[in-house]
Structure 1
Amino acid sequence: MIHAFFNPGQTATFNEIAPRKDSTFEVHYFGIHGLGHSIRTILAVSGAKFTSVIPEDWAAEKPKKPFGLIPTLKETSADGKVLEIAEIDAISRYLSRKFGYLGTNAFEAAVIDQFYSSSRSVHGAITTKYFDAKTPEAKAEVKTALMEHHIEAWLANHERHLADNGSNGHYLEEALSLADFATASVVDLVNVLWGEDTITEKKYPAVWKVYANIVRTPSYVAWTQTESYKTLTEGNRKVLGY
């Protein structure tokens, strides 16, 4: 039996919907920002219509998800066709291709992918190692190691490239890209866990500009004012402590 997510019979529908921008979306994830945050950010900045769907009974729903994991993305076209995608990187690339955040040629796509992967690696190291630490003392040790071995190098490399591109808040020319979204996500996470004075405009002006471009986008600001966003923020505080 072929799982519905990976059914070749879905090819025609998938290829028809993929380039369209008039769809509505559901982001299926727990009642926190977490791994769903970057997906929701892409949708919000793009001005897409989306809702957050929180599983009521995760134990019952888990076997129905590819790999038994969320987030997943459900897209419904204007004429009622539906497709679903799993895995955060696959979802992010799919949406970026749809909304024009993957460049205009092979070179641009490769540059974007490299900086995206760099940021995702740092984000993954932080979330895995920090939240695996069980005591305040262990978390403090992990934070020191993460800063020395991951974050400082990431900041130096990205700051240099972004400055070479004119410190305009983008990795390629003046175009918004998937790499921008990933960097904004890292800045947000680092400043939450290490303190708001860790990555600032004064210390890292080029990296900060990327973050500012994303979070000051009117459609993103509007999303942060919704009850859905506020509910997820409260969920974060209860579950993750921030």
Structure 2
Amino acid sequence: MVHAFFNPAQAATFNEVAPRKDSTFEVSYFGIHGLAHVVRTTLAVSGAKFTSYVPEDWASEKPKKPFGVMPTLKETSVDGKVVEIAEGDAIARYLARKFGYMGTNAFEETVINQFVSSTNSVANSIFLKYFSAKDPEAKAEVKSKLLTDTIQPWMRNHEQHLADNGSNGHYLGSTLSLADIVTAVQISMINGLFGADTITEEKNPALVKVQTSVLSTPSYIAWTQTDSFKTLAAANKERIGF
């Protein structure tokens, strides 16, 4: 039987709901930022109404997810139509397209996707290598290699591309895109894990300006003042260190 998330029977409803911006959203994930950080940030920046759902018994809910993992997104339109999406990257791109963060044509969308893919590859390396190292000595070695071989090249390349766009806080033109959001989240993770002096305004002014343009969005600031965000941030710091 086709999983409900992928059932072609929901295509008409999905295509009707996809362009609408007045829905409410529920993000299912653990009570930390983690792999839902970009999704929640995209929703917050857009000013959308959303809640975070943290399963009390993940073991019992896990088999119900199409890939046995989170995050997943549940969207409910104002007239009660419901669509659900799995996989953080797919969710982020869906939301970015909905709220106008994927450019205005195929070229712009592809440019944005290239920057997003580049940044995601670094994030994936950090998740796979840094968090899999168990003892302090191994973690220190992995940390050093990640910084030299993965993070610093990403910083140099993206700093240059941002400079080519005028160092205006955006990757493409002068408007917010998913590429900006993903980089803002990545900078928070890198500085949290590798030290606050890793990416700085003095060394990486264009990158820092991107983060500032995202995190200074009024609706994002409003979200950071909520109990939901504060709970997530506190748990993230306790469990992951930043």
TM-score by length of 1: 0.98
What CA RMSD, in Å, does the superposition of the two structures yield over aligned residues? Answer: 0.8
Q: Which whole-Å deviations, capped at 9, do the CAs of 1:163-197 have from their partners, x for residues lacking one?
A: 01000011111011111111111111010011111
Deviation at 1:240, TM superposition (A): 2.0
Q: Name the counterpart of 1:158.
A: 158
Write the distance in 2 (CA, Å) between the matches of 1:162 and 1:107.
17
State the match for 1:56 in structure 2. Answer: 56
- Aligned residue for 2:199, secondary structure, equals coil
- 1:46 corresponds in structure 2 to 46
After the TM superposition, which residues 137-156 of structure 1 pair with which residues of structure 2 at under 5 Å, given as runs? Answer: 137-156=137-156
Q: How much does 1:237 deviate?
A: 2.7
Q: Find runs of 4+ consecutive structure 1 residues off by over 3 angstroms.
A: none
Q: 1:110-129 deviations in whole A, cap 9, x for unaligned?
A: 11010000000001111111
Q: Which residue of 1 aligns with 2:68?
A: 68
Distance in 2 separating the partners of 1:29 and 1:114: 26
Cross-structure match for 2:91: 91
Q: Partner letter of residue 23 of structure 1?
A: S
Aligned AA (1:128) = L
Any residues of structure 2 matched to 1:1-242 within 5 Å, and which?
A: 1-242=1-242
Structure 2 Cα separation of the partners of residues 189 and 99 of structure 1: 24
Partner of 1:50, secondary structure, is strand
What SS class does the counterpart of residue 52 from structure 2 fall into? strand
Gaps of 5+ in 1: none
CA contact (8 A) 2:171 2:180 kept: yes
Give the match's secondary structure for 1:66. coil
Counterpart contact for 2:30–2:55, Cα < 8 Å: yes
**Partner SS state of residue 67, structure 1:** coil
C-alpha displacement at 1:234, in angstroms?
Answer: 1.9
Shift of 1:136: 1.3
Following the alignment from structure 1 to structure 2, what is the Cα–Cα distance between the partners of residues 185 and 236?
13
Q: Secondary structure at the match of 2:166?
A: coil
Deviation at 1:135, TM superposition (A): 1.2
Deviations 1:206-236 (A, max 9, x none): 1111011111111111111110011111221
Q: Given that residues 28 and 73 in structure 2 are in contact (C-alpha distance below 8 angstroms), is that contact kept between their aligned partners in structure 1?
A: yes
Mapped partners of 1:237, 1:218: distance in 2: 24
**Cα distance, 1:239 vs. partner?**
2.3
Identity %: 67
Instruction: State the TM-score, normalized to the length of structure 2.
Output: 0.98
Offset at residue 70 of structure 1 (A)? 0.2
Look up the SS of the partner of 1:198 in the other structure: coil
Letter of the 1:140 counterpart? A
2:168 partner amino acid? N
SS of residue in 1 equivalent to 2:131? helix
State whether residues 38 and 181 of structure 2, in contact with CA within 8 Å, keep that contact through their aligned partners in structure 1. Answer: yes
| Number of residues of Structure 1 aligned to a counterpart in Structure 2 | 242
